[in-house]
Structure 1
C-alpha cells in the first residue's frame, strides 16, 4: 500500500469512530470536527491526509510548523491549529501564521497574540485551556481561574474566544476518561453567554475520542490513529 492508501484508510477509520460515537451520544454525525495532529510528521503525510479530505491540521512546534507551511502554500484551504505550549518570544509568528490556538492560558500571551495579529486578518480563534487534573506538567488554568481569563480575553480585539480545551491524564477506563470531559462541558455551560457561547469543546485524542464525544466534544485532536508512528 502507498502512503496515500494507508493514511486514507486510517482517516476513514477515524471518521467512522467519530460518527459512531456521535450516534451513540444522540448527536448529529457532523457535530464533531477532526483536527489531524501532524506534528513530527513529514509534509508527504500531510499531503496524503489532505488528499483524503482532511483540512484542519494541528502543530505543536513552531519552527517545524513554519517550515511545513512554507512547503504547502499551494494548499490554500488548509486550516492551521497551534496546539503546543505558547512561549512569549513566539507569539508574533503564531499570531501571523495560525488560524486557531488551542492552549491559551496566560493573560500576557493573550494580549500579545491580539496585538500581533496582522492587520486585515480576522481575529485569531482561541480555546482557553483548563487544567482539570492538577498535574504541574500540564498547561492550562485551574477551573477557578477560568472566569478572569475569559473576561480578559474577550476584551481583546485580535482574539475570538471560541471555547475551551483540556488535556486530561490518560486512562483506559471509559468512565474515568469521561469525568474530566464532563467537567469541561459543565464549565462551558457555566460561563457561556449569548454573545460568547463557547460553542467549541476541544477535547479527545486517539485513545479517548469516544469518551470525549459522549461528553460533548466538538473538536477532537487525532494524531497516531491517522498517521501512526512518525513516518519519516
Structure 2
C-alpha cells in the first residue's frame, strides 16, 4: 500500500462547525438584505431557515441528474433569493440575471465573514500542508462557496482544488462522486485519505479505493474505521503510521 500523499477534507462538521455557522449565516443574510430590500433581521433569518432544506434539495437533485454545474448554481441562487423574499414579503428583481447577480453579491458578502472553524482546525491544515500533503476539499458545498470559506479561514492557498458537486455532477454519498474527484485530480486513490463526519460518505470513498477516517465526537474509537474527535487530531494520527 503506497504512503498517503493526498488528503480530501469535508467542510461542514469537519473543518467548520455547522452549529456555529448557521446562526452567523442568518445574521449576515439580514445585514446584507435589510438595507437593500427591506424586511427585518428576524424575518430574513427565519426565511432562510424555512426554505434552505427544500432549495438545497432541488439543487442536489439537479446535479445528481447530471446537469451542468454552472447552470444549476445559477438556478440555485435565483431560487434561494426568491424563496426567502417570498417568505419575508419583499420584492426582488424580476429579471433572472439581476436576481442572480444580487444573490451572488450577497453570498460574496457573507461567506468570507463566517468564522466557524473548529478549534485547532486551521493549525492542523497548515501543519498538513507543511508536511507536504496535497490538500483538497470533498464536500457537497459548491466549489465557489468552499473557496470563500477557506479564504475566510486564511488557508485557501494551501488547497490544490475545491471539489463540490458542481465540478463532478455527482453528490455524496454516490461512489461516482469520489471516483470523479480522484480522476479529475489525477491522484492514486490508494494514496489518498478522505475525512468526513458521515460514515455513509466514507464507505463510498473506500469503495472508490481511498483510505478513510471518521471525524466524530461520539463514534466508538474501537470500530473498524479509524476515528478522530476533531481535525486537530489528524497530524498526530498520520505521524503514528496507524493508517499505513
TM-score, normalised by the number of residues in structure 2: 0.27
Structure number with higher helix proportion: 2
Structure (1 or 2) with the larger CA radius of gyration: 2
Structure showing greater relative contact order (alpha-carbon pairs closer than 8 Å, 6 or more residues apart): 2
TM-score, normalised by the number of residues in structure 1: 0.28
